[in-house]
Amino acid sequence: MVRLVKGAYCDAEIKRAQVDGMPGYPVYTRKIHTDLSYLVCAQKLLAANDVIYPQFATHNALTLSTIYTWAKHAGIHNYEFQCLHGMGETLYDQVVGKENLDKACRVYAPVGSHETLLAYLVRRLLENGANSSFVNQIVDEEVSIDSLLTDPVDASRDSGGLPHPAIALPRDLFGGERANSRGLDLSDETVLAEFGDAFSTFGKQQWHASPLLAQAPQATATTMVQTVHNPAQRRDVVGHVEEASKEQVEAALASAAEYAAAWQNTEPAQRAHSLQRAADLLEQHMHELIALAIREAGKSLPNAIAEVREAVDFLRYYAAQVIGHPNPVALGTVVCISPWNFPLAIFVGQLSAALAAGNVVIAKPAEQTPLIAFRAVQLLHEAGIPPAALQFLPGRGEIVGAGLTADSRTKAVIFTGSTEVAQLINRTLAKRAVLESSDIPLIAETGGQNAMIVDSSALPEQVVQDVISSAFDSAGQRCSALRVLFLQQEIADKTLTMLRGAMQQLRVGCPDRLATDIGPVIDFDAQQQLLGHIANMKASAKQHYELPLPVPRNAGEASNATFVPPTVLEITDLAQLQREVFGPVLHVIRYKRDDLAKIIDSINATGYGLTLGVHSRIDETIDFICARAHVGNIYVNRNIVGAVVGVQPFGGEGKSGTGPKAGGPLYLKRLQRNPQANLGG
């Protein structure tokens, strides 16, 4: 038996391909092409009637009549039609029975509980309620019979076989403004083979990073060279980095101050062209950058692809913002300090925003991930960004970061990282502001105790899906990752049971393998802090669960990786957490419906919150939470066929693979003393 069914959800497939930056679509973008394809497949099934029993599932009268006529002329009787229970009854009343066409029709009837079948019912309503659906059109008196009986062959010939002109290809998603970043289809064997060939080289290569200055310092100093290891296999040396000295910091500041006016007076279109060229170069070197993200930062293959794509999107996005606009009044020298968890995307996002607005940039990457940032700056220089407009200073925060932020030639700071470091920078700039009698903008994005509130109306299946993604993707190493899950007690047991089952599908391991879902944490210090926290919390947790780590082949291998098991800890009070736990650790707290206000108060009491998730089908609950929670972004899932609606989007961390497409400002101005200040002056 072979069942032939017309596909549904072509809109979802199209949107997914756009988001993933695919070269085209895996489905037809014209309904008529789907109808034609169905008939072609039907012919092939009928032609193989000696070995196949065809089952034609359709509610389309023209499709049914065509198949019936073909089979009758060919003398084929060994086949059947199919329909859904409660649908197509008027059509099949004229098909079954000896007084009619005398063809069998198998009826599919959904069987199960209300909660199991609700999503199925809504899906069928969406499919058959669509304007292009035959079931919908046949009851529409404004649709003529001739229109209903349009021959798919003739209609497809009239279209030239071309895709629908109103549906842009993924590359053209943003029209004339900018090109969408290119993704990689990991289900395509050709793509995998190409990446495998590239990784055979880049998986062994070692890179060397060093300061990139417009002019070398007059005085020479001894520099420190650090080795960069693969966190998934510490014996794998990814490369070496030469850390910047105080003399090099001084030289960079002097060159930046000297060149600031020239770069500000450069035509915005010229600056934009260089950024666009840099985006193209990043895509050309995608395999190398992906390999670096995997080996240096421990990112999984999908996350590494998203890392490069987001960097490309930032370059094109900010380039588009300045084309055709008056030249903004730039601030001067902007210091960009980026994190290790998005070592390319946020690094490039910071500096591209500043460069586009006419500022000169001194970029300091995270100490753990200088190599991929170094390659990005090399490509930006190759694209036409002058070395004096963009200088690169890898090194320690106490030397490079502190030296740059304390200097009067630094006119603004962009920072992403821990709240503690952000506060240090804020205090430094506050002291300078008093001494220099001027405002010094600080644009900072920090983490926090990101929470999700789930009430009893939520669908556990969707809750678990979102929790798995938010808490454990990137090994929980995102500023926006879920840290605390509040479950209303009525659904807590069921949701936790389902969560445990879903976690068992995850695979922890080397991130260069497709089977891996979760890679290592960034370094040994992070690993030990997380393992210590897990051990301490287990003693007081009501219950806990963790995934097993990959079994090492030998004892030496076990000590040369920084994996942390994805862990769920059920605790009683948010106050038990003194600081953000930056890794794959989820804390669960049960609550009573009447205690919702107290839950929100406890979240607000933790300080700054970057994100808050809400799962509820009750508008009053959603409004209540949104009105009281003090967080940067609130994401609401109303549990309606998986639809997610963003509420009160004040800005925040760009999501992997989407970048500025998510909308809102690039960074939350958490510590910026002058909210009106911006990089464009």
Q: Please report the pLDDT score of residue 76 as a whole number.
A: 95
Listed residue (574, 581, 561) closest to 520, CA to CA: 561
Rounded to whole angstroms, the Cα distance separating 29 from 564 reads 44
Interhelix angle 286-297/301-322, rounded to 10 degrees, is 120
Please confirm, yes or no, whether 420 is among the known catalytic residues.
no
- In the sheet that 54-57 helps form, which strands lie side by side, from edge to edge? 2-5, 54-57, 80-84, 105-108
DSSP class of 679: T
Q: Which helix (H) or strand (E) holds 623?
A: helix 619-628
Angle at 570 between CA 565 and CA 571, to 5 degrees: 120
Q: Do the Cβ atoms of 679 and 412 come closer than 8 Å?
A: yes
Listed residue (470, 453, 422) closest to 626, CA to CA: 453
Q: Please report the pLDDT score of residue 658 as a whole number.
A: 34
Strands 585-591 and 609-615: unpaired
| pTM for this model (two decimals) | 0.88
435 has which bridge partners? none
CA-based R_g, the chain, Å: 29
Residue 43 neighbours by CB under 8 Å, 6+ apart:
70
Please confirm, yes or no, whether 89 is among the known catalytic residues.
no
For the chain, list residues with pLDDT below 50.
641-681
List, as one string, the DSSP characters of 209-272: E--B-SS--SS-----EEEEEETTEEEEEEEEEEPPPHHHHHHHHHHHHHHHHHHHTS-HHHHH
Token code pair at residue 517: 């879902």
Residue 583 neighbours by CB under 8 Å, 6+ apart:
475, 476, 477, 521, 526, 530, 564
Q: Please report the pLDDT score of residue 253 as a whole number.
A: 98
pLDDT tens-digit readout, 151-178: 888 888 988 888 899 999 999 999 999 9
In 3-state terms, what secondary structure has residue 626?
helix
Q: Which helix (H) or strand (E) holds 634?
A: strand 631-640
pLDDT tens-digit readout, 652-668: 333 333 333 332 222 22
Strands 225-230 and 233-242: antiparallel
Given the residues 83, 105, 336, 479, the one annotated as active site: 479
Given the residues 445, 570, 580, 653, the one annotated as active site: 445
